Structure 1
Amino acid sequence: MGDRRDAGPGAAGRALAAGRPEDVRNVVLVGHSGSGKTTLVEALALATGAVNRAGHVADGGTVSDHDEIEHRQQRSVQLSLVPVEWDGIKVNLLDTPGYADFVGELRAGLRAADAALFVVSAADGVDGATRMVWEECAAVGMPRAVVVTHLEAARADFDEMTETCREAFGGDSPDTVLPLYLPLHGEESADGHAPVTGLIGLLSQRVYDYSSGKREERPPDEGQLPELDDARARLIEGIIAESEDETLMDRYLSGEELDLKTLVQDLERAVARGSFHPVLAAAPAAEGCKQGIGTVELLELITGGFPTPLEREVPQVTTPQGTSHAQLTCDPGGPLAAEVVKTSSDPYVGRISLVRVFSGTLRPDETVHVSGHGLEDRGHEDHDVDERVGALSSPFGKQQRTVPHCIAGDLACVAKLTRAETGDTLSAKDDPLLMEPWLMPDPLLPVAIQAHSKADEDKLSVGLSRLVAEDPTMRLEQNPDTRQVVLWCLGEAHMDVALERLRTRYGVQVDAVPHKVALRETFGEKSTARGRHVKQSGGHGQYAICDIEVEPLPVGSGIEFVDKVVGGAVPRQFIPSVEKGVRAQAAKGVALGFPVEDIRIVLVDGKAHSVDSSDAAFQTAGALALREAASQCRIHLLEPVSEIRVMVPDEYVGPVMSDLSGRRGRVLGTEPVGLGRTLVRAEVPEIEIGRYAVDLRSLSHGTGRYGRSYARHEPMPPQLAQKLREQHAQESGR
């Protein structure tokens, strides 16, 4: 890299449609919020001629597809695709949000890409969440490179940041993370800051000077050679160590000057394999440089070093019925297998699906099969339908430029797929396929909502269904116990964006209300009671009397009904009616309106009338008897307890365990899981972990994750139960 001259930029203003998979590079940009990903994408678009001035496409509009919410939040909240062309190669740049609440968009970008570009700010460093994504990419062998941005910042230090990246990303092999270029600094200002004016290529031993406003190449100055020689030797040794040519090291150690072309080829092969991770420097917003410093060098790395879609294994596919299917390859002539990686809504066009084609060729106006993704538990229906594909387009900002087709390895937007959602598979209607789903984070922050007005209530269901269709990281729940509509989100910012989209995009105003935990009630002691339902108001009356005994059972026993009536005091045909009545009352609750569990109800006696007794009368008598029994004894509240599994770096284990104890949690154990992380298992009442997704992120500086599963209901402490009773009494008295 650095041995090439400026390649011709792509033609501005035209749609890009790849003709061969080897002419495509799919690159996802990863980095924390504020690291400069979007600015870098805009600079790359400018360098390729896709825009005519910073951030503006040649035929109007902006390169970044920001919606109103992103402008208000001043950060990216969704995956954005910017296709550019360089040296005859189509480069699909996938810009992802850096904020943890939108990790679902990041995962979609990782699924659609074949290589990852980690953008690190020289002023801010590497955060824990970025390290975790790096390790995830390493686990699946995704090729990665690092771009250090914000070199123009006063406290930026490229050498220091390079060492930080080596420590953070190199692990046991720090010499696999090495710079390809060194920044060239201009004259120091009065405050001692020397601005970056260009780059020095370590392999090419050439200076790429941007100080004139455009890229100019020249040999290095005499004073730059010592620093250049040391860094170059280190880089060459790193490349040779990853080379498949075992003779290179001997030749290098014997003093042979290795051919630049050989080094570049070995570097590119090592990058494409994912065994070497070059570090580049970039100042995309450098003052006086129209196209930004380092953009050409980065484009050379992407087109020369990053793998083609042919080098990536296609995700496993099955039939929608679950039977196996032969492994697909990235072949434009093969069976169609594409995946929806993002769903959005346009007020004029309707639903737009961003699709990655893994096999075959997708064409407009053809009928495809849409296979569901198995996320019914999150409010996403399982699909197995045929749909007609609308127009295919290549996105650029808010514009959509029509393309004739989308081949294997490429990405395109598809209009008017009314049933397809994010994560769904598109395949040939006569050969339906279902692609293995990608890892999706579990939303663990609940927000209960209700319509603001009657007009909003009429539109709420449609708005919510469209909202969750766009975002598979969101779960919609209609809780039958609390009778609340609950959106489960990844964090507070995710929640804010969801509610704002409901309001601005779907015209539904909702109010957030306190989230209720589904409690249960049970009897604290044995009790007896009579249920008497006798009414006579002329004509056919109602007559039913039943005597019951109620006793508590162990946790998890449910409700047990026992018939001990003798002598026909309650006719046999009405005993099921009594059971139906007491079970219906138990479901409604006997104290605070929560379902009753873990009791045995024994029907011991009763009375009936030959004419006025009926099924309805004995149902009512059974319900009255249970309520009367509850009024004569202590009623305990049962709260749900979850088993949670918290994964955190070792240094946060102590604070996490202390925090869990403060939430009335019982730590069950810890176990190391490698890579300096520990799994903490605990049981915690659900009422204590409503905001744990937010609190854990703060406690672990964004590096902690947790999962939860229902364990059981158990008695709530008396003081908390009393507090709830008082609150219920106040609300009932209003």
Structure 2
Amino acid sequence: MKIYSSEQIRNVALLGHGGSGKTTLAEAMANVAGITKRQGKIEEGNTISDFDKEEIRRGFSINTSSIPIEWQDCKINLLDTPGYFDFMGEAKEATRVADSAIIIVSGKSGVEVGTEKAWEYAEEMEIPKMVFVTDMDDDQASLKNVLDQLKDIFGKSIAPFQVPIKEGEHFVGFVNVVKMQGRKFIKDHVEQCDIPEGMASELEPVREMILEAVAESDEELMEKYFEGEEFTLEEIQSALHNGVIEGTIVPVLCGSGILNTGVQVLLNSIVKYLPAPKEEHTVVKGLNPDTEEEIEVTCDKDEPMSALVFKTIVDPYIGRLSLFRVYSGILKADSSYLNVNKEDSERISHIYVLRGKEQIEVKEIRAGDIGAVAKLSNTSTGDTLCDKKRPVKLKGIAFPESLACRAVFPKTKGDEEKISSGLHKLMEEDPTIKVVLDSENHQELLYGIGGQHLDVITSKLEAKFKVGVDLKKPKVPYRETIKKKVKVQGKHKKQSGGHGQYGDVHIEFEPSGDRETPYIFEEKIFGGSVPKNYFPAVDKGLQESVHHGVIAGYPVVGVKATLVDGSYHPVDSSEMAFKIATTQAFKKGMVEATPILLEPIVSVKVIVPDAYMGDIIGDLNKRRGRVLGMNPAKGKQEIIAEVPQSEMYGYSTDLRSMTQSRGLFTQKFERYDEAPMDVQEKVIEAKKNEE
């Protein structure tokens, strides 16, 4: 593949709702550009983007894939992202390195939740946007309805560049409003045609909207507009390009990915209106790893090299592939670079351009371009590779928090190590996967973004690493404590020929008030009834005892134990005897001091549109939650609540269902509180059944 300069490159993320047609459109663009002779189809499992076995089996995208397309002496790096929310980490990777986004909307389904999310991702990364309305070949499709929805939700920046031409109910072409010329679809290409009669009323407001946007971009053009002078095509296109980059104009184009209509125009528009990596406004900033000072990274091949690894692909047979974008300089094969995050040197042997699963070897990747390198030893997603002479750390990727949790169990005994190894490799590929070992409850916890994400992880473990797992509801880490003060005696006396064993302690047990600490030990011995050298044995007895409470065997917290009296034998007493006496006193004291079960309480923040406030608050109340307050958050509402952890199982799925996937939440452990009596009884009963 030819090496392109930064001015000739367009890095574009394809975003949109799941099933809106992103992969089909990417396939159509590749076909128009001559990469494929026959356009692949999702249902046939032969598209360039969806090459993973899981994607082919399920019929939708799971991973972001790269499809470089050569068009009009430019290289368009298409990043086809998944639309389903369980895989939003992949979309975040793509938007981090893209210079612009094309949001795909179905002309039939209109603006969906995924459209709103796609807009949010692009806004978050402050990249220009273009909208492509697909499925226009469907008789139910309506560009007018879609435009009305887009304007209602996203405002006046929406600017349609095309108006469909219909014959009967069929979409046969469009009017290019920028050039005011008709275009008709003839088999696999577009031909110029006259604008049909009777379209003036439809075209006039659209044309006026574009001319107003052009006038607002420049004072001279504004004067020209008010004086009634016509703009030249160059003035219009230049102003539109600048407006797109500044975010004041979001072009809307239309066509059909399946029938390949409007795709050629889309490719032309990408080259014409979307930004190259090297535009005047583009300033990328990194940090000096030693001083934390900001460094300006210029997109120029003559600058020192810096690149961000934005995605990792792990294959059991090929090994690890790291996808990167070069932000400055030239990344060359057979070179060494510094991994700033790991403070380690990496040797680059071969460099590739990936087109789906195809690897095209190249000698170098220049500033602004995207490539891949195999078998880096110590580089992860989000790491910066750079010239050792100018260390710089580029901004990483902000992944969504993974809050859907299941306990992992092997289907076959003895597979624990294979599971651990497989999950570790999948975590390299997908940073939204998290594994936590809960030694207290003897379970391995797997965290993902949602139920579908967890299901895909288990399928990948089976397909790639030949290990089957079951996912179950995780156990809740309850605690036990006491409510009142008691004084008890623990005495261990044993005579068995020769030296006997003797230890006698009188301990006061009471609530310490600190439920983050298992126990506090004090001694108030008078007159040497227990010698000082046995105090550590008493402490050790307490230390071992707090691991198991008397109600359901959960760890004990918030207990203060004061050694107040006791007795010893000059010959038979030992550390072991005092330790045993202490454990007896502990059990007795726990029973007498009104033991209770504590449940973990989590602090929950839910962000939802206003319309869902009532449903969310009602649901949190049903979960025994306590709403503490509400704050406005970027046009939405943030609800702050405290909820028992046991009630939050499956909340990510329930929240999506209640808010049509518009809601987000985070949670973190807050404290332990006394569980209601009915909950205590259920937990005790469940523990008995386990035994």
TM-score, L = length of structure 1: 0.89
Report the Cα distance in structure 2 between the residues aligned to 1:32 and 1:337, rounded to whole angstroms: 33
Consecutive unaligned residues in structure 2, runs of 5 or more:
none
Report the Cα distance in structure 1 between the residues aligned to 2:505 and 2:295, rounded to whole angstroms: 66
Instruction: Give 1:488's match in structure 2, choosing from 447, 456, 461.
Output: 447
Report deviation, 1:252.
Answer: 3.0
Report deviation, 1:662.
Answer: 1.0
Report the Cα distance in structure 1 between the residues aligned to 2:331 and 2:523, rounded to whole angstroms: 66
Report the Cα distance in structure 2 between the residues aligned to 1:508 and 1:608, rounded to whole angstroms: 58
Q: Is the 8 A contact 1:456 1:510 kept in 2?
A: no
Q: 1:379 — aligned with what?
A: none
1:535-577 deviation line (CA, Å, top 9, x unaligned) = 4555665433322221123353632211122232222111012
1:214 aligns with 2:189: yes
C-alpha distance 538-352 of structure 1, shift in aligned 2 (>3 A): farther
Q: 2:136 — aligned with what?
A: 151
Report the Cα distance in structure 1 between the residues aligned to 2:334 and 2:285, rounded to whole angstroms: 27
Report deviation, 1:468.
Answer: 1.3
Instruction: Give 2:386's match in structure 1, choosing from 393, 415, 427.
Output: 427
Q: Is the 8 A contact 2:95 2:125 kept in 1?
A: no
Taking the TM superposition and a 5 Å limit, the aligned residue runs for 1:293-312 are 293-311=261-279
3-state SS of the aligned residue for 2:133? Answer: strand
AA aligned opposite 1:249: M
Instruction: Give 1:22's match in structure 2, choosing from 7, 17, 20.
Output: 7
Number of residue equivalences: 686
AA aligned opposite 1:475: K
Q: 1:7 — aligned with what?
A: none
Q: Is the 8 A contact 1:320 1:384 kept in 2?
A: no
Report deviation, 1:226.
Answer: 4.6
1:308-345 deviation line (CA, Å, top 9, x unaligned) = 11136455322445632422111222232211111111
C-alpha distance 65-335 of structure 1, shift in aligned 2 (>3 A): farther
Instruction: Give 1:527's match in structure 2, choosing from 472, 479, 486.
Output: 486
Report deviation, 1:109.
Answer: 0.7
Report deviation, 1:234.
Answer: 3.0
Report deviation, 1:722.
Answer: 0.8
Report the Cα distance in structure 1 between the residues aligned to 2:274 and 2:79, rounded to whole angstroms: 14
Q: 2:325 — aligned with what?
A: 356
Instruction: Give 2:334's match in structure 1, choosing from 349, 354, 365.
Output: 365
Q: 1:202 — aligned with what?
A: 177
1:131-190 deviation line (CA, Å, top 9, x unaligned) = 2442453355311111111112232111111111111222xxx1x21211112223x3xx
Report deviation, 1:198.
Answer: 2.0
Report deviation, 1:409.
Answer: 0.9
Q: 1:66 — aligned with what?
A: 51
AA aligned opposite 1:100: F
1:552 aligns with 2:533: no
Q: Is the 8 A contact 2:10 2:275 kept in 1?
A: yes
AA aligned opposite 2:509: V
AA aligned opposite 1:627: K
Q: Is the 8 A contact 1:117 1:144 kept in 2?
A: yes
1:388 aligns with 2:347: yes
1:391-441 deviation line (CA, Å, top 9, x unaligned) = 211111221111111111111111001322211221234544332223221
Taking the TM superposition and a 5 Å limit, the aligned residue runs for 1:273-292 are 273-286=246-259, 292=260
Report deviation, 1:614.
Answer: 3.2
C-alpha distance 538-463 of structure 1, shift in aligned 2 (>3 A): farther
Report the Cα distance in structure 1 between the residues aligned to 2:373 and 2:681, rounded to whole angstroms: 57
1:605-627 deviation line (CA, Å, top 9, x unaligned) = 23334344333343333223212
Q: 1:343 — aligned with what?
A: 312
AA aligned opposite 1:525: K
The share of aligned pairs that are identical, in percent, is 36
Report deviation, 1:201.
Answer: 0.8
3-state SS of the aligned residue for 1:354? Answer: strand
1:665 aligns with 2:625: yes
Please give the root-mean-square deviation of Cα atoms over the aligned residues, in Å.
Answer: 2.2
C-alpha distance 328-596 of structure 1, shift in aligned 2 (>3 A): same
The more displaced of 93-102 and 154-163 is 154-163
3-state SS of the aligned residue for 1:159? Answer: helix
1:501-560 deviation line (CA, Å, top 9, x unaligned) = 222122332221221122111013233333334445556654333222211233536322
3-state SS of the aligned residue for 1:505? Answer: helix
3-state SS of the aligned residue for 2:582? Answer: helix
C-alpha distance 139-212 of structure 1, shift in aligned 2 (>3 A): closer
Report the Cα distance in structure 1 between the residues aligned to 2:646 and 2:451, rounded to whole angstroms: 18
Q: Is the 8 A contact 2:95 2:121 kept in 1?
A: no
Taking the TM superposition and a 5 Å limit, the aligned residue runs for 1:168-187 are 168-170=153-155, 174=156, 176-186=157-167
Q: Is the 8 A contact 1:335 1:359 kept in 2?
A: yes
Q: Is the 8 A contact 2:188 2:261 kept in 1?
A: no
1:457-481 deviation line (CA, Å, top 9, x unaligned) = 1222222211211111222211233
AA aligned opposite 1:600: K
Q: Is the 8 A contact 2:340 2:384 kept in 1?
A: yes
AA aligned opposite 2:275: P
Report the Cα distance in structure 1 between the residues aligned to 2:276 and 2:187, rounded to whole angstroms: 35
3-state SS of the aligned residue for 1:327? Answer: strand
3-state SS of the aligned residue for 2:75? Answer: strand
C-alpha distance 536-52 of structure 1, shift in aligned 2 (>3 A): farther
Report the Cα distance in structure 2 between the residues aligned to 1:363 and 1:541, rounded to whole angstroms: 78
TM-score, L = length of structure 2: 0.94
3-state SS of the aligned residue for 1:353? Answer: strand
Report the Cα distance in structure 2 between the residues aligned to 1:136 and 1:99, rounded to whole angstroms: 14
1:234 aligns with 2:209: yes
Q: 1:470 — aligned with what?
A: 429
Report deviation, 1:633.
Answer: 4.2
The more displaced of 561-570 and 130-139 is 130-139
The more displaced of 517-526 and 606-615 is 606-615
Q: 2:245 — aligned with what?
A: 272
AA aligned opposite 1:363: K
